[in-house]
């Protein structure tokens, strides 16, 4: 599914297209940038992973997006929204290219998703984060999220690595 294009002071956030696949994979499969993601290391990625973007524009159940720098058009990262069945809660996912770490881009991106959700009647947001991912934990706390509970943890596909996780919640109404 596609969500309407959003803009912030520095970013354009638009629906992921099939041709965006390689840019997304550059982050997700990278040893450093994709460290705390469930995606496998590049050398263990299967065909389904490598071709995840095929038909993505018609994929139901979630809104995958890419984030571009408004001024330069450079690829900044990815984000996604997975609405719960009643539409009152959105689960958020996100990843930034390391060129954009520690510059406020994550904050700007997530604030925009939260504002969009509120305008559509969303009452709460969740995010699943590896407990040891200090940057992502700090970002969510900065935005007012609180730890709802510890999750079951998730396995990095193609490895024996399991990350204990926190499930964060932001209630807006």
Residue 85: per-residue pLDDT:
78
Q: Are strands 165-171 and 75-83 parallel, antiparallel or unpaired?
A: unpaired
Q: What is the CATH number of the domain that holds 62?
A: 3.40.630.30
* Tens digits of residue pLDDT in 131-170: 999 999 999 999 999 999 999 999 999 999 999 999 999 9
What range defines the domain where residue 62 resides?
6-171
Considering the domain boundaries, does residue 72 fall inside one? Answer: yes
> Has residue 2 got a pLDDT over 90?
no
Considering the domain boundaries, does residue 1 fall inside one? Answer: no
Task: Extract the tokens encoding 105.
Answer: 């881009």
Task: Extract the tokens encoding 72.
Answer: 């330069």
Residues 2-30 have a mean pLDDT of 97
Output DSSP code: residue 121.
T
Alpha-helix residue ranges (DSSP H) falling in the chain: 21-28, 47-50, 105-119, 134-142
> Has residue 81 got a pLDDT over 90?
yes
Q: Helix (H, G, I), strand (E, B), or coil: what is residue 93?
A: strand
The pTM is what? 0.95
Residue 59: per-residue pLDDT:
87
- Count of domains observed in the chain: 1
Residue 140: per-residue pLDDT:
98
Considering the domain boundaries, does residue 92 fall inside one? Answer: yes
Share of residues in the chain with pLDDT > 70 (%): 100
What's the 3-state SS for 2-31? CCCCEECCCEEEEECCHHHHHHHHHHHCCC
Considering the domain boundaries, does residue 156 fall inside one? Answer: yes
Considering the domain boundaries, does residue 25 fall inside one? Answer: yes
> Has residue 1 got a pLDDT over 80?
no
Determine phi and psi for 141, rounding to 5 degrees.
-65, -40
Considering the domain boundaries, does residue 76 fall inside one? Answer: yes
Considering the domain boundaries, does residue 31 fall inside one? Answer: yes
């Amino acid at each position: 599914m596609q969500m309407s294009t959003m803009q912030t002071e520095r970013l354009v956030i638009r629906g992921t297209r099939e041709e965006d696949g390689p840019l997304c994979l550059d982050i997700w499969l990278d040893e450093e940038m994709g460290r705390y993601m469930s995606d496998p290391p590049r050398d263990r990625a299967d065909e389904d992973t490598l071709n995840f973007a095929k038909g993505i524009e018609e994929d139901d159940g979630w809104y995958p997006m890419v984030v571009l720098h408004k001024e330069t058009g450079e690829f900044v990262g990815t984000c996604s929204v997975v609405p719960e069945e009643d539409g009152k809660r959105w689960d958020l996912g996100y990843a930034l290219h390391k060129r954009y770490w520690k510059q406020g881009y994550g904050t700007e991106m997530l604030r925009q998703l939260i504002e969009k959700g509120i305008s559509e009647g969303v009452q709460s947001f969740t995010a699943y984060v590896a407990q040891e991912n200090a940057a992502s934990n700090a970002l969510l706390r900065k935005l007012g999220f609180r730890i709802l509970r510890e999750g079951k943890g998730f396995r990095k596909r193609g490895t024996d690595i399991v990350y204990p996780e926190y499930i964060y919640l932001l209630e807006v109404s």
